[in-house]
Structure 1
Amino acid sequence: MSAVPSIDGPALALGRVATRSDLVAESLRAAILAGRLRPGQTLVERHLAAMLGVSKTPVREALIALTASGLIVMSRHAGAVVRTLSAPEVRTIYELRLLLEPWAVGRAARRHGPAAAAEARAALDEAEAGAAAGDPVAVNLANRRFHRALYSRADNELVTAQLDRVQDLVALALQVAQVWRGGARPFGQAERAEHAGIVAAVAAGESERAEALARAHVEHAAAALELPPDGSGPDVAGPVAAGPPGGPGPA
């Protein structure tokens, strides 16, 4: 089976691709999470099929899968649309993340500390390289790999699957937060220090410390979103084909 190209950027490479519709879904997921397909943007099957060089059938199947994951919603009039999150929805996403991810990181430290830390460090190196190159999309994808390298080592497939979905929604939340704030949040020193602390605790097998640091990191990421008090969502709809060149900022 020939590879389906992504939409103007790298795929996520999370190790869950099997069929042609899976490849299309990964390409679309990567484009959404990198901000190339924006919240509120209509996705037209025939346009996507032409861009990816496939028939409409795998595109339709991919859109159904992404609807199930929460990245896309189906509208009676507009068809498939990249999901736009309201402030209350974003808060709910971070509440769920706060419940699951710190526990998973602590368990990963206890069960697979050195291996999990090594994979996470590699992702951090990729993030630094992306930051040095001025490539926010590379930073965001590396940041996602960093978090998955840790929580996926908790030896709980249900938690990993749920956190994969949460991370998808976090990426959408960062995009709408970028509109609320009027710009992307850079990959700063505070976040670098938090990541380094988590990795050090995981490498040492210090599960309680790793869990506490991961919890603080998620709390800080939620606070950095600067959610509006009225609970309204932004108007971030864009054109059909492509989103902005930069990503929404790490979390």
Structure 2
Amino acid sequence: MAFAPSPIPSRTQFVLEAIKHGILTGGLSPGQALVETELAARFGVSKTPVREALKTLAGTGLVVMSQFKGVTVRTVDAGMAHEVYEVRLLLEPEALRRSLARHASLDAARDALLRADEAVDQAERSLANREFHRELYLSCGNPLLTRMLDEVRDQAALVSTVAWAADPSWDREADEHREILRLALAGDAAGAALALHDHIASFVRRAFPEGDQI
């Protein structure tokens, strides 16, 4: 018999989302120390929800816990970026292909694309972009495949955040998103999957040439 995971307490969830927002918008920089007492004071909570939030974020790959350095925001380099994006390249186009084979609705993906176009700041744009990609694979029909892609979403968003700080290439990526959606709506599963593969591959090649670090 399978048991559902226990829900995260509300204070822990609040702290978790606040720290994640800071990381994914660049407010908390890669390598920056995350001190429990300072975060607890900032959010008006005890250290317990902060500690639990940091453990969860370590599990998603956004922070690193070290016996000597404490907790820090994960540093993004070419090796890390290529590892994360290799997983996306292997899985995401196939998941999109399967979603289209199941005649999945693309309304939510279209809505996310519109929100990204109308975003007033980087945080809003980043969230909309993440939702656009997720809506492409969400209906693939394989829960394990969906979970595997969900598990790298935060790390992929961190890679994008760091890359955009050096080169804000949102307009180019928005055009590529529109082309992926156009092909998908036209029923061209192979074309949409190829466009998605090229979109993911070109971004990481452009932003993180092998051997470089941002």
TM-score, scaled relative to structure 2: 0.86
Bigger helix share: 2
CA distance in 2, matches of 1:220, 1:64: 33
The 5 A counterparts of 1:4-19 are 18-19=8-9
Q: 1:31 to 1:159 in 2, by over 3 A?
A: farther
Give the structure 2 partner of residue 184 of structure 1. Answer: 167
The whole-number CA distance in structure 1 between the counterparts of 2:45 and 2:156 is 29
Q: Distance in 2 between matches of 1:226 and 1:232?
A: 6
Is the 1:110–1:206 Cα contact (8 Å) retained in structure 2? Answer: no
**Pairwise CA RMSD:** 2.1
**Distance 1:157-1:53 versus aligned 2 partners, 3 A rule:** farther
Q: How does 1:17-56 map to 2 (within 5 A)?
A: 18-20=8-10, 21-56=12-47
Note the alpha carbon deviations across 1:176-225, whole angstroms, 9 max, x for none. Answer: 4457xxx232312x423321122123334432222122111112212221
2:129 paired with 1:143: yes
Distance 1:42 1:158 in 2: 34
Q: 1:198 to 1:22 in 2, by over 3 A?
A: same
Partner SS for 2:51: helix
Cα distance in 1 between the residues matched to 2:99 and 2:25: 27
Q: Secondary structure at the match of 2:102?
A: helix
**What is the deviation of 1:34?**
1.5
Question: Any residues of structure 2 matched to 1:141-180 within 5 Å, and which?
Answer: 141-177=127-163
- Opposite residue 150 of structure 1, the aligned amino acid is L
Given that residues 117 and 174 in structure 2 are in contact (C-alpha distance below 8 angstroms), is that contact kept between their aligned partners in structure 1?
no
Matches within 5 A, 1:89-104: 89-104=80-95
Structure with higher RCO (Cα < 8 A, 6+ apart):
1
1:60 deviation in Å?
A: 0.7
The Cα offsets for residues 34-69 of structure 1, whole Å up to 9 and x where unpaired, read as 211111011111221222232211111111111111
Report the equivalent of 2:192: 210
Letter in 1 for 2:167: A
| Distance (whole Å) between structure 1 residues aligned to residue 163 and residue 24 of structure 2 | 13
Q: Distance in 2 between matches of 1:220 and 1:233?
A: 17
Aligned length: 207
CA distance in 1, matches of 2:22, 2:146: 22
Q: Deviations over 1:129-184 (max 9, x none)?
A: 11xx4x222212211111111122213232222222322112222344457xxx23
Contact 1:102 1:212 in 2 (8 A): yes
Q: 1:138 and 1:206 mapped to 2: Cα distance?
A: 29
Contact 1:106 1:209 in 2 (8 A): no
User: What are the ranges of 5 or more consecutive residues in structure 2 without an aligned counterpart?
Assistant: 1-6
Residue 111 (str. 1) matches residue 97 (str. 2): no
Give the distance between the partners of 1:184 and 1:194, measured in 2 at CA. 16
Structure 1 stretches of 5 or more lacking a match? 1-16, 235-251
Paired position in structure 1 for 2:78:
87
Equivalent-residue separation in structure 2 for 1:18 and 1:203 (angstroms): 38
**Structure 2 CA distance for aligned equivalents of residues 193 and 175 of structure 1:** 18
TM-aligned CA deviation for residue 98 of structure 1: 0.3
1: CA distance, partners of 2:43 / 2:16: 11
